[in-house]
Amino acid sequence: MSTKVKTQSQDDVFKKLVAHCKEYGFIYPSSEVYDGLSAVYDYGPYGVLLKNNLKAYWWKSMVQLHENIVGLDCAIFMHPKTWKASGHVDAFNDPLVDNKDSKKRYRADAMIEDHLKKIEDKIKKEVEKAAKRFGASFDEAQFRATNPRVVEYQNQHDTIDKRLGEAMRTSNMVELKAIIEDLEIADETGSRNWTDVRQFNLMFHTQLGNIAGEEGKLYLRPETAQGIFVNFLNVQKSTRQKIPFGIAQIGKAFRNEIVARQFIFRMREFEQMEMQFFIRPGTQQEWFAKWKQARMNWHLALGAPQEKLRFKDHDHLAHYADAAVDIQYEFPFGFKELEGIHSRTDFDLGAHAKLSGKKLSYFDPELNESYTPFVVETSVGCDRMFLATLSRAFVEETVPDAQGEDSTRIVLKINPAIAPIKCAVLPLLKNKEELTKAALDIFNHLKFSVDCQYDDKDAIGRRYRRQDAIGTPFCITVDFETLENQTVTIRDRDTLKQERIHIKDIERIVLEKTDMRLLFAKI
Give the binding site for ligand GAP (CB under 6 A).
Answer: 223, 225, 255, 257, 266-267, 270, 272, 274, 337-340, 377, 379-381, 383-384
Question: Of 347 and 474, which has the nearer Cβ to ligand GAP?
Answer: 347
Smallest separation (angstroms) from ligand GAP to the CB of 337:
5
Smallest separation (angstroms) from ligand GAP to the CB of 28:
17
Smallest separation (angstroms) from ligand GAP to the CB of 264:
7
Question: Of 377 and 456, which has the nearer Cβ to ligand GAP?
Answer: 377
Across the beta sheet with 93-98, the strand order is: 105-107, 93-98, 198-201
CA proximity to 491, closest of 516, 466, 518, 458:
466
Question: Of 95 and 473, which has the nearer Cβ to ligand GAP?
Answer: 95
Question: Of 326 and 455, which has the nearer Cβ to ligand GAP?
Answer: 326
Task: Answer for the pair 274, 224: CB distance below 8 angstroms, yes or no.
Answer: yes
CA proximity to 253, closest of 216, 230, 227:
227
Question: Of 255 and 463, which has the nearer Cβ to ligand GAP?
Answer: 255
State which residue has the least CB distance to ligand GAP. 381
Distances (CA, A) of 155 to 123, 158, 473: 11, 5, 49
- Number of C-beta neighbours around residue 450 at 10 A: 16
Question: Of 318 and 395, which has the nearer Cβ to ligand GAP?
Answer: 318
Question: Of 73 and 184, which has the nearer Cβ to ligand GAP?
Answer: 73
* Backbone phi and psi for residue 231, each to the nearest 5 degrees, phi listed first: -100, 5
Smallest separation (angstroms) from ligand GAP to the CB of 445:
39
Smallest separation (angstroms) from ligand GAP to the CB of 399:
34
Smallest separation (angstroms) from ligand GAP to the CB of 501:
41
332 preceded by cis ω (within 30°)?
A: no
Report the DSSP beta bridge partners of residue 5. Answer: 397
Smallest separation (angstroms) from ligand GAP to the CB of 346:
16
- Residue 10 CB contacts under 8 Å (≥ 6 apart), including other chains: 332, 333
CA proximity to 170, closest of 160, 162, 158:
162
- Number of C-beta neighbours around residue 132 at 10 A: 9
